[in-house]
Chain A
Amino acid sequence: MSQFLQVLLSGLATGSIYALVAIGFTLVWQAAQTVNFAQGEFVMVPAFFVLVGMHVLGFPLALAVGFALLASIVVLGFVFKKLIVEPILPSGGISLIIATMALGILLRESVKEFYGAEAQPFPPLFPTDPIHVFGAVVSMQDLLNLVISLGVVILLTLFLNRTRTGRSMQAAAQNPAVAEILGVDVKRMIMYAFLINAALAALASFLITPVYLAKFSNGETLGLVAFIAAIVGGFNQIRGALVGGLLIGVLDNFVATYITAEYRAALPLILLIVIILLRPQGIMGTSEGRAV
Chain B
Amino acid sequence: MRSLLRPFLIALLLLAAIVAPIGQGNYITYVLTSWLIFSIASMGLNLTLGYAGQISLAQASFMAIGAYTTALLTLAGWHWMAALVPALLLCFVIGLVLGYPALRVKGHFLAFVTLAFNTLVFLVLRNEDWLTGGNYGLVGMPRPDFGFFSTMKQHNFYYFTLAITIVAAAIMWWIVRSPWGRAFKALRENPIRAESLGVDTRRITLLAFAIGSAYGGLAGALVTPLVQFIEPGSFAVAHSFRILLMVVVGGAGFFFGPFLGAGVVILLPEMLRFTEGYYLIIYAALVILMLVFTPKGLIGVWDLLRNRLFGKAQIRADVKQEPTLK
Contacts and interface: CB of A to CB of B under 8 A. Distances in A.
Q: Do chains A and B touch in the complex (CB under 8 A)?
A: yes
Interface of A: 33, 35, 84, 87-88, 91-95, 97-99, 101-103, 105-106, 109-110, 112-113, 224, 227-228, 231, 262-263, 265-266, 269-270, 272-273, 276-277, 280, 290-292
B281 interface: yes
Contacts of A265: 119, 123
Q: Is the interface of B mostly helix, strand, loop or mixed?
A: helix
Interface of B: 49, 55, 100-101, 104-109, 111-113, 115-117, 119-120, 123, 127, 238, 241, 244-245, 248, 252, 277-278, 280-281, 283-285, 287-288, 291-292, 295, 322-326
Contacts of B291: 88, 91, 95, 98-99, 102
A110 B324 contact: no
Contacts of A106: 281, 284-285, 288
Contact of A105 (B111, B280, B325): B280
A277 B101 contact: yes
A98 B278 CA distance: 20
Contacts of B101: 273, 276-277
Contacts of B244: 98
Nearest to B103: A277
A270 B284 contact: no
Contact of B109 (A105, A109, A276): A276
Contacts of A224: 112, 115-116, 119
Contacts of A273: 101, 113, 116-117
A280 B105 contact: yes
B325 A231 contact: no
B106 A99 contact: no
B108 A35 contact: yes
B107 A291 contact: yes
Given A94-B325, A277-B100, A231 B109 contact: yes
Contacts of B127: 262-263
B288 A103 contact: yes
A92 B292 CA distance: 11
Q: Is the interface of A mostly helix, strand, loop or mixed?
A: helix
Nearest to B240: A101
A26 to B, nearest CB: 12
Contact of B120 (A35, A87, A112, A270): A270
Given A92-B325, A113-B281, A291 B106 contact: yes
Count chain A CB atoms within 10 A of each CB in B277, B280, B284 and give the residue with the most. B284
A73 to B, nearest CB: 21
A277 B104 contact: yes
Given A93-B324, A94-B325, A87 B292 contact: yes
B126 to A, nearest CB: 8
A269 B277 contact: no
B287 A98 contact: yes
Given A291-B106, A291-B107, A231 B112 contact: yes
> What 10 pairs between A and B have smallest CB-CB spacing?
A93-B325, A91-B295, A92-B324, A106-B284, A269-B116, A102-B287, A35-B108, A105-B284, A109-B280, A102-B284
27 contacts: A84-B288, A84-B292, A91-B291, A91-B324, A93-B108, A95-B291, A98-B248, A99-B288, A99-B292, A101-B241, A102-B285, A102-B287, A106-B285, A109-B281, A224-B116, A262-B123, A265-B123, A266-B119, A273-B113, A276-B105, A276-B113, A277-B100, A277-B104, A280-B109, A290-B105, A291-B106, A291-B326
Nearest to A107: B284
A108 to B, nearest CB: 8
Contacts of A113: 277-278, 281
Contacts of A109: 277-278, 280-281, 284
A277 B98 CA distance: 11
A210 B127 CA distance: 28
Contacts of B106: 291-292
B105 A272 contact: no
A95 B288 CA distance: 9
Contacts of A102: 245, 284-285, 287-288, 291
Nearest to A92: B324
